[in-house]
Structure 1
Amino acid sequence: MDNAVTRVPAAPADDAVRHFEAQFAYETDCWDTHAALATPEPGFVLLDVRSPALYARGHVPGAVSLPHGKIIASRMAAWPAGTLFVTYCAGPHCNGAARGAAKLARLGYPVKLMAGGITGWVDEGFALVT
């Protein structure tokens, strides 16, 4: 059987484990974010990196509005060095979360991206704050 899926063999299992587990260093999902936010100390600051207007229309409870274009050293000084940030944007069709994450990483902060963004959050059945 020859098709686009089978034409290139899958990676060896050991390689696949390293590849897929490495992704967890860079991103988390909506379910894990939701569960962590339900605890007294989630261990991160959740940043909504969309525009203030989109944030006002609906955002993840507990998220701080900080558009990715406004992520600069002077603004980030409000948080201690080493603070873990989790960024999100509109969803898989948006690269704002990655833009924000890259800026935070350039400033030396540990950062992860919340895969799925607002779209994923709503798809999981979680409520937004307006």
Structure 2
Amino acid sequence: MPSLVREIPAAPSAIALMHFSNRLTFETDCSDVYGSQQAGEVDFVLVDVRGPLAFERGHVPGAINIPGRLITADGLAAYSKSTLFVVYCAGPHCNGANKAAVKLAALGYPVKEMIGGVTGWLDEGFELSVAVQPVVAMPISCEC
């Protein structure tokens, strides 16, 4: 009797290679964003898609705040269509980054999701920037 893991067979290696390679075209992680920032190689616009209050309480350094519901062609007119946007939200429990990515892609921009969002950033041990108060036992909600 196979384990629960092997109950459904793994995909053939060629299919697994295609699947996991494709995923990397849609997402990046907190460590890669942080590493790019530390190396001074920021060739993307990092966008926190949560609401302004959540952004003020704590956001990834270098991020700008564009709540997902406010992503429009007019609002992005200053960015060339080759601008890579990296979007994030509160964390894996929130789909605000996915919704924002859909809007950006529909507007013709390349986009990746920073998987993990704020939760992932903190899990990696990285610090948040705060605009008003430090994040201490305050919920970091989506508001997106």
TM range (shorter): over 0.9
Match of 1:122 in 2: 122
Q: Which amino acid aligns with 1:126?
A: F
Match of 1:17 in 2: 17
Match of 1:113 in 2: 113
| Correspondences of 1:1-130 after superposition (within 5 Å) | 1-130=1-130
Instruction: Give the Cα–Cα distance (whole angstroms) in 2 for the partners of residues 11 and 61 of structure 1.
Output: 39
Q: Normalising by structure 1, report the TM-score.
A: 0.96
Q: What is the deviation of 1:79? A: 1.0
Deviation by residue 1:7-36 (Cα, 9 ceiling, x = unmatched) = 211000111011011101000000001111
Show structure 1 runs of 5+ residues with no match: none
Q: Normalising by structure 2, report the TM-score.
A: 0.87
How many equivalent residue pairs? 130
Instruction: Give the Cα–Cα distance (whole angstroms) in 2 for the partners of residues 5 and 38 of structure 1.
Output: 38
Q: Which amino acid aligns with 1:121?
A: W
Q: Which amino acid aligns with 2:108?
A: G
Instruction: Let me know the Cα RMSD of the aligned residues.
Output: 1.0
Q: What is the deviation of 1:78? A: 1.7
Q: What is the deviation of 1:3? A: 4.8
Show structure 2 runs of 5+ residues with no match: 131-144
Q: What is the deviation of 1:118? A: 0.2
Q: If each structure's helix is expressed as a fraction of its own residues, which one has the higher value? A: 1
Instruction: Give the Cα–Cα distance (whole angstroms) in 2 for the partners of residues 22 and 2 of structure 1.
Output: 29
